[in-house]
Structure 1
Amino acid sequence: MAKGAIVVGAGPVGLMLAGELRLGGVDVVVYDKLPGPSGESRGVGFTRRAAEVFEQRGLLERFGDVEWAQGHFGGVRIDFGKLDDNHFSVRGVPQFRTEEILEDWLGELGVPVRRRHEVTGYRETPDGVVVEYEGPDGHGEDSAQYLVGCDGARSLVRTLAGIDFPGWGATRGMYMADLVGAGVRQRPIGEKVPGGMVMAFNLENGVDRIVIHDENLRPPEDKSALRFGDIADAWQRMTGESLHHAEVRWISSFTDTTRQAEHYRSGRVFLAGDATHIHMPAGAQGMSVGVQDAANLGWKLAAAVNGWAPEGLLDTFESERHPVGEKLMRNTRAQTRLYLTGDEMEPLRAVMRELVALPEAARHLAGIVSGIDIRYDMGPGTHPLLGLRLAPGHELLLADGTRTRVAELLHPARGVLLVTGAAQDTATLLGAADGLGERVRTVVAEWAEPVTQDRPAAVLLRPDGHVAWAAPDGADLLRQALERWFGTGTGAAGRPQAVGAASR
């Protein structure tokens, strides 16, 4: 029998998606052309919402003690400490560390990661896809019900699927280097200097990451042509500090090229992460949005493989995540212009500094950067939380007196119907989920703190932590939400549902 899914790309997004699928009971395998993890660290942290996604699967604690960082929008500082919600991001976690943690997790889940296996093509069949690859033993084929390209900005899967990747070409570039013994002054959110911008912060164990935007220095098209001497010369010219004595661990460059896939799905083929969106790095959003792509797609694809996905469920991946990608393109382009242009932009920066002093403006910009302002269309309902995520740190008291948190309820990647004693007609609410078996876990508990707008008397959570229904909306709307996201069923396992064959 064909596998449930094949994931192409063993970066953070592909690994996260494979774990999500396995938690959903799907037979999944990851293919990657590299012989092992690259060891590179383009990303050096993740946003608050990405941290919450990791926490929802019990993964955040594996990162150990992390540094929670303040944020900015295009270099304009936002005081997260004055905001009601927690927008602090994680800084100083190199991408290879994230990949190590996720691959260890996949090992525990029994998901194979096949390295030195380069996918070269695929063809669709009436009930799945056949993937062609070149591996250590030569040419081979593998089959699955679905294929997901998490293979980066130059995605072969996207190209083979015929999905356009429109956007804007490069207008400026940046250099980065990881250095040992640099002794550089820390500039964690960057500093404007004559001719550009410089940034420096400790990455780990005495390794400093520097980033330079030099208006007079253009990144070469071929990154193998990069020379640290040019970067060190530029740093000295712009700051008066010498880096020439430092030991170089890694150098790279990037531009402000901004593109988004026209579609995230073509038949049985899906895209996630950098295969769907590339942009100038700003606030660790790139990898973080990709991790959220994985959390959104994983349970839906598992539902389709397991045969109970309601009609149109798979199409909601694109309808929910494509607008998020559009906003990502907009906000990173705005930040690039605010951050990297010259003195002619200073009046706008001054206005932005005034705006972020206003609580409502600060909340809006912080939500953009942190990712916790994402709201999906859940259909009818009146609760202010509808479509937003429920904060995973809220504590609950179970019937046996033990405490738990929202995040812990979501560890199995299942839906959760939480009902407290403050809800009206609790028996009817709990009965609405009868027959949904393993799809939705019902939990009776009390909030450790009083019921408020942020802690509803009863709430239905999707596996990705977003609120699909909340009291005081009634049982009829709850039943509609359950059927929309979890289908219908009888008995412990539920009745398999037909899956629409919608494409783009």
Structure 2
Amino acid sequence: MDSTGSSRDTGSVIVVGAGPTGLLLAGDLAAAGVPVTLVERRPHRTSNLSRAFAVHARTLEQLDARGLADELEAKGQRLQRLRLFGSLFLELAELPSRFNHLLVVPQYEVEKLLERRAVDAGVTFAYETEVTGLAQDADGVTLHVRTQGESKDLRAAYVVGTDGMRSSVRTAVGLPFPGKSVIRSVVLADVRLGEQPDNVLTVNTVGDAFAFIAPFGDGYYRVIAWNRAHDVSDDAPLDLDEVRETARLALGRDYGMRDARWMSRFHSDERQAPKYRVGRVLLAGDAAHVHTPAGGQGMNTGLQDAANLGWKLAAVVGGRASEELLDTYEAERHPVGKAVLRSSGGLVRLAMAKRPWTLAARSALAAAVTRARPARTRAMGQITGIGVRYPAPRGAHPLVGRRVPDVALQGGTRLYEALRTGEFVLILPQGSPDKLDGVRVAHWASERRSALLVRPDGYAAWARDAGGEEGAEGGVKSTDVPEVFAGYSLR
């Protein structure tokens, strides 16, 4: 890539922001053969400042499709029961997934894994590089940056902003970030404990106080605490006594907190950009949406944004798809971001309920989720990402747009192993040809006679039930499989 404002190769992408979303996206693009530069304002170092500790089932499935899930699982602790508030628990063992649990692992472990993959795939990293503006034209985007006191331009076919809530990329394209601060003066502290908690995650709310404790795995614990009655600015002084007091109010004891190596305050916002794409510039992760940490959905939603966008952007840059495919990114992920804002915000409001009508609503929700399986399934599907479904064209098969489980394939393999090539996978009945007009083919391990075309991100693109006319392909003909999916050429 040229730094003078021209470009030797406009078939490249610049990703701005080296958090989990940016690392996954950059790695996917590079693995698909796209030249990609990852720009990051901060210096290169491992940070313990992350707030995320929860990796949900759908994110683990996406990592499994990249051969990373098992390694990450070895670094964390599994939790099969997730407490949301009061008496409301989700029994994650009921999830229809190989990952029927929540993985408790610090965000920096996710970042280290994704960074290693990105490096191995050939991503170019530009640390200590700040975006100061951009300009786009019919052929690409010129990104204005400052690095080591020097201003220069970088050029690429597309730019993706994954640079967080204060996104310079979002600002540069003039997109607003409407919303509001909903939780002020939340305190963070990394401490040692004199008493080990009984559970992997310790979380509770009493009155105005909320507290959360999770292990780093190195002897330190992250404490997140909030006392609604103590509303001060983010720069107000903070000491460990305040953290202990809030923990005692919410948890009944402070577990002997001591030896704080870091403490800080922050506020939590609920915001979403009205658009995720402006021409050749796209947004993902916290640059596109931020919300409260309730349910641990933040990092997971961003990673799933990246999984949706990566294969589409690689196909467009590589000439295998028209630009209309990029429109499906916003159409599919913007509603998901909106739903996460609603669910995470609702959980916070119910957890901190004080008025009689909100307390009644909380009790009703807890009862419905506990007693009614459909309500429980919807709640788990929303929080874990398993239940996300994308819009389907009119008249499409009912499976289109749905997540495809990790089904067994002939030969002792699984679907998410087959997806590691980054291609569509067409699953056909046993006895069908191994090739079908250039489409990657796999076969059901069972006697199933239907056909299913699976997108690289694990969602159904096309399906057909077994027909009455049995042929060499079990009633599925090569002409039945669409040649083009939303502008993507399958042939």
TM-score range, shorter chain: 0.7 to 0.9
The answer for the alignment partner of 1:495 in structure 2 is none
Deviation of 1:471 after TM superposition, in Å, equals 2.3
Q: 1: distance between equivalents of 2:487 and 2:404?
A: 17
**Is 1:216 matched up with 2:225?**
no
State whether residues 419 and 459 of structure 1, in contact with CA within 8 Å, keep that contact through their aligned partners in structure 2: yes
Question: CA, structure 1 residues 419+238, in 2 after alignment: closer, same or farther (shift >3 Å)?
Answer: closer
Question: CA, structure 1 residues 55+239, in 2 after alignment: closer, same or farther (shift >3 Å)?
Answer: closer
Structure 2 unmatched ranges of 5 or more: 1-7, 467-475
TM-score by length of 1: 0.86
2:189 to 177, 188, 196: 177
Query: Could you say what the CA RMSD is over the residues aligned between the two structures, in angstroms?
Result: 2.6
Q: 1: distance between equivalents of 2:254 and 2:297?
A: 31
Q: 1: distance between equivalents of 2:253 and 2:323?
A: 61
**Is 1:60 matched up with 2:53?**
no
SS in 1 for 2:295: coil
SS in 2 for 1:170: strand
Question: CA, structure 1 residues 87+174, in 2 after alignment: closer, same or farther (shift >3 Å)?
Answer: farther
Q: 2: distance between equivalents of 1:284 and 1:34?
A: 25
**Is 1:103 matched up with 2:115?**
yes
**Is 1:442 matched up with 2:441?**
yes
1:15 to 9, 23, 39: 23
State whether residues 46 and 89 of structure 1, in contact with CA within 8 Å, keep that contact through their aligned partners in structure 2: no
**Is 1:480 matched up with 2:473?**
no
Q: 1: distance between equivalents of 2:153 and 2:96?
A: 52
**Is 1:367 matched up with 2:409?**
no
Q: 1: distance between equivalents of 2:93 and 2:101?
A: 12
Deviation of 1:87 after TM superposition, in Å, equals 6.8
State whether residues 39 and 96 of structure 1, in contact with CA within 8 Å, keep that contact through their aligned partners in structure 2: yes
Deviation of 1:108 after TM superposition, in Å, equals 1.0
Question: Which of 302-311 and 184-193 deviates more?
Answer: 184-193
Question: Which of 412-421 and 198-207 deviates more?
Answer: 198-207
The answer for the alignment partner of 1:248 in structure 2 is 260
Could you list the per-position Cα deviations for residues 135-191 of structure 1 after superposition, in whole angstroms to 9, with x for gaps in the alignment? 136222211000000000000100111111112333555323221234253562522
**Is 1:48 matched up with 2:57?**
yes
Q: 2: distance between equivalents of 1:2 and 1:201?
A: 45
State whether residues 213 and 221 of structure 2, in contact with CA within 8 Å, keep that contact through their aligned partners in structure 1: yes
1:71 to 78, 82, 96: 82
SS in 1 for 2:67: coil
**Is 1:229 matched up with 2:241?**
yes
2:133 to 121, 145, 169: 121
TM-score by length of 2: 0.88
Which amino acid in 1 is paired with 2:129?
H
Question: CA, structure 1 residues 28+83, in 2 after alignment: closer, same or farther (shift >3 Å)?
Answer: closer
The answer for the alignment partner of 1:406 in structure 2 is 415
Question: Which of 119-128 and 467-476 deviates more?
Answer: 467-476
Could you list the per-position Cα deviations for residues 26-77 of structure 1 after superposition, in whole angstroms to 9, with x for gaps in the alignment? 0001010111233322111211111111011111122142322223445521
Q: 2: distance between equivalents of 1:483 and 1:113?
A: 33
Q: 2: distance between equivalents of 1:245 and 1:389?
A: 43
Q: 1: distance between equivalents of 2:216 and 2:98?
A: 23
1:309 to 292, 298, 321: 321
Question: CA, structure 1 residues 167+180, in 2 after alignment: closer, same or farther (shift >3 Å)?
Answer: same
The answer for the alignment partner of 1:492 in structure 2 is none
Deviation of 1:327 after TM superposition, in Å, equals 0.6
The alignment-based identity, stated in percent, is 33
Question: CA, structure 1 residues 476+259, in 2 after alignment: closer, same or farther (shift >3 Å)?
Answer: farther
**Is 1:81 matched up with 2:93?**
yes
The answer for the alignment partner of 2:456 in structure 1 is 463
Question: CA, structure 1 residues 310+189, in 2 after alignment: closer, same or farther (shift >3 Å)?
Answer: farther
Q: 2: distance between equivalents of 1:420 and 1:43?
A: 42
Structure 1 unmatched ranges of 5 or more: 490-504
State whether residues 435 and 441 of structure 2, in contact with CA within 8 Å, keep that contact through their aligned partners in structure 1: yes
Which amino acid in 1 is paired with 2:332?
E
Q: 2: distance between equivalents of 1:481 and 1:371?
A: 29
